[in-house]
């Protein structure tokens, strides 16, 4: 078959690579335009564009597929495959490929429909998630399912580490669905159950509330790592990113938000037990050991997270 592929972030790369290595032809890759990155604001292509160019695949830039409507329809593709593109597909594009579009979504639909399923699953304290391949429709992640696979959430998984594994596993599932669609040996089934939703996170979602139990604080930290990033705000207003931490299972239990050095450990109190902070990044500074950072705090007003 001739395939269209739409995707942008690193999580979409394994699926593109699997399809490009398979028996079908990836006719066109659609991805978001290069964006300024780093302190020097260098225009940088998406990971999907880098992967496509490495394989000599034609690339189209778009923030939405709508402006490419005539060009996409003219391609006459058999199937569209979309992974984390970040834009909705509407008619007549939905019906343009002969077999429509399929989407790889990183949850067990109908759970966690939306842009941030992995992040929300971790924040909610889930111990299992998964992936779904479904037929794309006009509704948000509402289409019938071609395949699902469950996947455990590790006790120390971040959104980044879990998404990386799901992306690799999902690539094989998508490739299998594409092959079976080509053979005509697969039919979709309706989603079952009550839907839940996982909207895109913003910076505010990364703020840690140390008045909550340690398990909830740690879950939010993991679910917002690496994006949008977990942080606390000291009483003096300084914002500090918490890059790595774990729940402390022994030692003192400081008051919620209080910072304490316990030997070789940097602790912060929560509602029930301490969180051991390992790596931090104060505003405007490089990442550093939490112990070194805490030892350098001289102002009493800066020794507690608000």
pLDDT single digits (tens) 218-259: 999 999 999 999 999 998 889 999 999 999 989 899 999 999
Tokens 């923030």 correspond to what residue? 63
Co-location of 155 and 292 in the same domain: no
> Is residue 195 in some structural domain?
no
Handedness of CA 172, 131, 11, 88 (dihedral sign): positive
pLDDT at 122 (0 to 100): 98
pLDDT single digits (tens) 165-207: 999 999 999 999 999 999 999 999 999 999 999 999 999 999 9
pLDDT at 256 (0 to 100): 97
Number of domains in the chain: 2
Co-location of 244 and 284 in the same domain: yes
pLDDT single digits (tens) 80-133: 999 999 878 889 999 999 999 999 999 999 999 999 999 999 999 999 999 999
Co-location of 259 and 112 in the same domain: no
> Is residue 38 in some structural domain?
yes
pLDDT at 38 (0 to 100): 79
The CATH number of whichever domain residue 80 belongs to comes to 3.40.50.170
Strand bridging mode 239-247 / 275-282? antiparallel
Among residues of the chain, what percentage have pLDDT more than 90? 85
Which of residues 183, 216, 239 is at a domain's end?
183
Strand bridging mode 265-268 / 259-262? antiparallel
Co-location of 40 and 141 in the same domain: yes
User: Given 3-state DSSP classes, what are the helix, strand and coil percentages for the chain, each rounded to the nearest 5?
Assistant: 30, 30, 45
Which of residues 183, 218, 248 is at a domain's end?
183
Measured from the Cβ of residue 51, the count of other Cβ atoms closer than 10 Å reads 22
State which residues form the domain around 237.
203-302
Using only C-alpha atoms, the chain has a radius of gyration, in whole angstroms, of 22
Co-location of 158 and 48 in the same domain: yes
Question: Greater confidence, 122 or 71?
Answer: 122
Is the bond preceding residue 224 a cis peptide, omega within 30 degrees? no
Q: How far is 254 from 22, CA to CA, in rounded Å?
A: 56
pLDDT at 297 (0 to 100): 86
pLDDT at 101 (0 to 100): 97
> Is residue 239 in some structural domain?
yes
> Is residue 189 in some structural domain?
no
Co-location of 97 and 138 in the same domain: yes
Q: How far is 85 from 115, CA to CA, in rounded Å?
A: 10
Find out whether 183 and 27 touch, Cβ atoms under 8 Å.
no
pLDDT single digits (tens) 3-58: 999 999 999 999 999 999 999 999 999 999 998 887 788 899 999 999 999 999 99
pLDDT single digits (tens) 261-303: 999 999 999 999 999 999 999 998 999 999 999 998 876 556 8
pLDDT at 167 (0 to 100): 98
Co-location of 139 and 249 in the same domain: no
Co-location of 37 and 146 in the same domain: yes
Co-location of 179 and 266 in the same domain: no
> Is residue 257 in some structural domain?
yes
> Is residue 196 in some structural domain?
no
> What are the structure tokens assigned to 9, written together?
């972030």
> Is residue 198 in some structural domain?
no
Co-location of 134 and 87 in the same domain: yes
Q: How far is 62 from 52, CA to CA, in rounded Å?
A: 15
Which of residues 122, 155, 183 is at a domain's end?
183
Mean pLDDT of 125-144: 96
Task: Tell me if residue 293 falls in helix, strand or coil.
Answer: helix
> Is residue 208 in some structural domain?
yes
Tokens 């003219």 correspond to what residue? 74
Co-location of 10 and 128 in the same domain: yes
The CATH number of whichever domain residue 231 belongs to comes to 3.10.25.10
Residue 148 pLDDT level (bands cut at 50, 70, 90) = very high
Q: What is the H or E stretch that residue 148 is in?
A: strand 145-152
Co-location of 266 and 160 in the same domain: no
């Amino acid at each position: 078959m001739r395939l269209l592929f739409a995707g942008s972030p690193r999580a979409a790369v394994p699926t593109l690579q699997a399809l490009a290595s398979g028996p079908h032809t990836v006719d066109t890759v659609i991805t978001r335009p290069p964006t300024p990155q780093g302190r020097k604001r260098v225009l940088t292509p998406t990971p999907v564009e880098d992967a496509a160019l490495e394989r000599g695949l034609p690339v189209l830039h778009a923030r939405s597929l709508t402006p490419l409507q005539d060009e996409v329809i003219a391609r006459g593709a058999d199937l569209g495959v979309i992974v984390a593109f970040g834009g909705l597909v509407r008619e007549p594009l939905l019906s343009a490929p002969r077999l429509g579009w399929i989407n790889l979504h990183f949850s067990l639909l109908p759970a966690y429909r939306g842009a941030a399923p992995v992040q929300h699953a971790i924040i909610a304290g889930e111990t299992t998630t998964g992936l779904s391949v479904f037929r794309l429709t006009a509704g948000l992640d509402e289409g019938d399912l071609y395949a699902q696979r469950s996947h455990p959430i590790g006790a120390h998984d971040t959104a980044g580490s879990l998404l990386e594994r799901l992306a690799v596993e999902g690539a094989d599932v998508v490739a299998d669905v594409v092959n079976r669609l080509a053979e005509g040996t697969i039919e979709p089934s309706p989603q079952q159950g009550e839907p839940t939703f996982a909207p895109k996170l913003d910076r505010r979602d990364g703020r840690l509330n140390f008045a909550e139990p340690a398990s909830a604080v740690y879950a939010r930290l993991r679910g917002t790592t690496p994006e949008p990033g977990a942080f606390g705000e000291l009483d003096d207003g300084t914002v500090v990113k918490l890059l790595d931490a774990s729940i402390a299972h022994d030692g003192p239990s400081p008051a919620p938000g209080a910072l304490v050095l316990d030997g070789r450990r940097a602790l912060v109190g929560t509602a029930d037990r301490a969180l051991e902070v390992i790596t931090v990044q104060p505003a405007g500074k490089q990442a550093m050991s939490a112990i070194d950072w805490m030892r350098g705090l001289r102002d009493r007003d800066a020794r507690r997270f608000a």
